[in-house]
Amino acid sequence: MLSFYGRKVDSRLLMGTSMYPSPDILQKAVRASRAQIVTVSLRRESASRQSGQGFWKLIRELDVHILPNTAGCKSVREAVTTAQMARELFETPWIKLEVIANDDTLQPDLFGLVEAARILAADGFEVFPYTTEDLGAAERLLEAGCKVLMPWGAPIGSARGLNNPYALKTLRAWFPDIPLVVDAGIGAPSHAAKALEMGCDAVLLNTAIAKAADPVKMARAFAGAIEAGRQAFEAGVLEPRDMASPSTPVAGTPFFRLD
């Protein structure tokens, strides 16, 4: 069973809640995915008093863990302030910390991310940092007080999958006891299955489900892929080989000659 800051969850799929065609489809997709953690943007929740209250009511009905995020924040100060407001609104110490460096790639500002993580952890937050696959940044985030890492697979919404699987494997090997959640870039169930096969603990995604022609069916597909990927990792995935390896041994088998 997966655990984040002492809270255990059965599902290894974390879901975003934006861009869905309707609130009803969002609810059905979350239920179909069996996700137990959903991310919520403070800016989305408080965009207007009436719509914000309606959205919050919808999320509460799902009976899931809420992971507020600091989406769109571009400075340490902005991210910290947003996190503090989210803690009051959603009544949780959890925060998905985003400090964005570039508008085109939405790549994290690693320097600002570490600084903000240190401030928030010291203030009692349980930080889920959206980071790259950089090993040095990961070490500094853990030193700052983070107990989970959320490296991107590819830029947010790009659907490119795992751009740097070697680096993700390195993170897994270097931090075997730290939960790794691949966050961003997952575009297909096969991408999610691959992440779990490699030993990552979970994936967080939004666009691939929300923008599908049938979000509910896609949510169900991701749930199945993630379960399959985890089972494959636990069973032991066969490593690739350069040469053929016959499934039927040749040595010791009889040969017949026909004249």
Please give the positions annotated as active site.
96
Strand-pairing partners, residue 149, are 180
Helices (H), 21-164: 23-33, 42-45, 49-61, 76-90, 110-122, 135-143
List the structure tokens of 136: 């040095």
Going by C-alpha positions, the residue among 49, 99, 52, 89 that lies closest to residue 68 is 89
Nearest to 34 by CA among 231, 221, 211: 221
CA quadruple 146, 150, 152, 156: dihedral sign: negative
CB 203 within 8 A of CB 182: yes
